[in-house]
Every structure is written in C-alpha cells, then in structure tokens.
Structure 1
C-alpha cells in the first residue's frame, strides 16, 4: 500500500489549482472527517438542486480524503449513493465520513451530507 498522496492540485474535487474544481478542504473532528461546501448555479441539475454527479463527487472526496489524511494513498473501487433529500444550491452543506472496516487492502467507508439543521441529504458507502 502506498502511503504518499500523489500531487492532486488539479483534482476536480480537492485540487486548489483546478480553475473549474470544487476546491474542497477538510478537517478532522473527533472520529469524523469533515468538510463544508456551498454549491453554485453551475453545479445544479434541475434549478436550485445540486446535480447528482456533484453530490456523488462530494461523497467520494470526503471518504477518500479521510484515508489520505491518515497517510494512505487509495483509489475508489466502489461507491453507492443514496439521495435522501434535494441538496440546495447556494446553501452551506456539511460533509462527513468515517472508516467502517478494513479487510486486507480494502477500506470500507461511510459518508454523508447534512444541511445546517443536521438533516441528512445524501449517504454513501465506499470501498477504497
């Protein structure tokens, strides 16, 4: 297992040098890995609603970067997303992830997105 994160400054999700990227940043809070995001109009599918592909990207990023933060270089092997409520454009949302299990070289992760009231908007499971 590689333990060095590759140069990801142009990553669509977390790369800070990508001019069209999401420019996500993350922090650890207890046993949770966290982030925040506010979608703009260019991130919408239907008017006022964040596109499902962007939501999946947010969840993939919060789960993978949780492991990157621990010094592990991983790629996503599998991800499932459950869209619970619409994710609004122009409102701050909160991203969370935690590790559920590890089997040999495969990490099982959980991620979710909440609004500012703590309501779950989307959930995911991933294998990295």
Structure 2
C-alpha cells in the first residue's frame, strides 16, 4: 500500500518510503487482511532481548492505517493507483502489550477491519513473533481531505 502514497505524504517515519531513516514498513492487502513483515534492528531494543514498546506502537499505527486505506479502496471498487488518493490519519490508537516481543526474529503484523464507513475504519492489528501474539492494538483511521490528497497522485 505505502508505495502508492503521494510523494509528499511518503515521509512518515514508520511507513514513508521517502524517509531515509524511517522503518519503511509495507502493508500487503489480500482483500480481508493486511499483512506486514518487519525485522527489528539492534537500535529498536528496550532491554536485552526485547523490542521498545514505542516502536511496536508505531508498527501497529502505520500498518493499521495502510490496512484501512486498502479497505477503503476496496469498498469503492478501486485500486490504490487511481485518483483521488485516499488518505487517512490516526484518530485513536490503543495498544496492549501481551508479552515481551523478541528482537532476534522477523515479526508478522496481521490486521483486519472491525468497522468500515466512507470516512472511518476501525482496525484491529496483532504482532506475532513466530506464532506467539505479543502485541494487540486497535486503531481508528479517519479519512481526510488535505493538501496532500490534491498535491498530485502517484
């Protein structure tokens, strides 16, 4: 999904492809779930063997927004490469840390839509280390009209 974001909007630390120091997460939509894979780096450590909670919240936030945008395109019967661009921001983010998330393995984020309207999506997202769910979040994604949606579509 994030590869379709307008260049002006692609600077987000979590998912912006144009942020050289960012996390560069990518959401892949299969029509039901948003899937993301992320490999933590050493600088993401909170304490030996565990990832910093703020990073985990960022992953849930950005991946949930990407999932919401993908679902909104689906709802409109369009693909992400069509205008007008759909842009969402975070209206609410709730994160529950279930277990420490290890630093030494790839993480899988799996998100699905709980509620979808024209202007809002409620997304539930979980982070898995191997098969173990370590973090669960819920995001309210709010669709906006901003200068970014009119700055030119990729």
* 1:18-75 Cα shifts (integer Å, max 9, x gaps): 2221111221235111000011111111122111100000000111001233353110
Tell me, yes or no, if structure 1 residue 121 matches structure 2 residue 134: yes
Provide the residue aligned with 2:124 in structure 1. 110
TM-score w.r.t. the length of structure 2 is 0.73
Count of residue correspondences: 124
Given the superposition, is the C-alpha separation of residues 102 and 25 from structure 1 closer, same or farther in structure 2, using an over 3 Å criterion? closer
Provide the residue aligned with 2:63 in structure 1. 62
TM-score w.r.t. the length of structure 1 is 0.86
The separation in 2 between residues aligned to 1:26 and 1:107, in whole angstroms, is 16
Determine which structure has the larger helix proportion and give its number.
Answer: 2
| Contact kept? 1:67, 1:73, Cα under 8 Å | no
Provide the residue aligned with 1:52 in structure 2. 53
Provide the residue aligned with 1:98 in structure 2. 112
The alignment's C-alpha RMSD in Å is 1.8
- Runs of 4+ in structure 1 off by over 6 angstroms are none
What residue ranges of structure 1 are gaps of 5+ in the alignment?
A: none
* Residue in structure 1 matching 2:98, options 80, 84, 87: 84
What residue ranges of structure 2 are gaps of 5+ in the alignment?
A: 74-79, 81-85, 142-154
